[in-house]
Amino acid sequence: MRADGADDDRPPFLGGAAPVGSLTGGLLARLRRTEARPTVTGDGETAVGAADFAATVERAAAGLGRRGMCPDDIIGVLAPVGPDRLTAVYTVMAMGGLALPLDLDSDLETITDILTAVDARMVLVTAPLAGIARELADRSRVRQVVAFGDAPETTPFRELLQPSPDGSGYDPARGLFDNGILSCSAGASGIESTLHGHRELLSRFHTVSRELALTRWDSVVLDGGCDESERAVLGAAALWAGASVVTTTTADDRGVAAVADTHGATVRCSPTPRRIAVRHAAG
């Protein structure tokens, strides 16, 4: 409950807006209503408008549904930290599923064991890693490999963006199942997993939004040294506030600081989300 007595715990600086269903549910509509023009940028990549980014997530979520994904399904994500990985994680959650980011430093046997243990049937992958994804599919129960870009024996991610044959659109309520991010690793007693469900992610979203007081003048760095769930939460909080997002595979402190300096960032993700500068409307 807010201080004014209203039964509404949504951040007042978001104008009463808050995610519906998943971290990005309703984001596109919000971005279209605001004057802010935030962007999403990766290492050496051209910036993409946040509204286009959010639209891609919505269309791809609908596309996953048409390709047989059901709410609560676990979908592997094999990609370095960047816009594609962020898109994949948000897309899976938007469809009501559990995103399973796969550790690029793990060996194939470990990743195969993880995919098999959780009964994952689909993997979203960047084109350079498509060969690994296909091998993982051969070793596990994965039946579909969807690639960002062109890669042999995969389904192009762009096919998920095609209009629905029956004209139906994306419904954020599809994410009302307990979507989230599943973290898995090999332990002494087998595969160990931690689920970061929607309630937890949404709670962190509100906390981060409140503590950092993000605005459209901010620029946020999501780096490789940050926990996956924190990256997803901070990225969503930034976009909802109209702030721009910069992603980087860099994980060491000095490297992240350099990226932040290059992009004039005001907030960074690792080791925990924190403000490093303040930028006002005057620039």
Give the contacts of 65 (CB within 8 A, at least 6 positions apart): 95, 174
Partners of residue 184 on adjacent β-strands:
193
Is pLDDT at 6 greater than 70 in this prediction? no
| pLDDT at res. 167 | 66
CATH architecture of the domain 22-275 equals 3-Layer(aba) Sandwich (3.40)
Average pLDDT score over residue span 126-153: 97
pLDDT, tens only, 155-181: 999 999 998 787 666 666 565 668 999
Averaged pLDDT score across all residues of the chain: 90
Structural domain boundaries in the chain: 22-275
Evaluate if residue 62 carries a pLDDT over 80.
yes
pLDDT tens-digit series, residues 12-59: 445 557 898 999 999 999 999 988 999 999 998 999 999 999 999 999
Q: Over 60: is that where the pLDDT of 283 sits?
A: no
Closest by CA position to 21, among listed 176, 187, 166 = 176
- CA pair distance 221, 41, nearest whole angstrom: 10
Average pLDDT rounded to a whole number, residues 106-116: 97
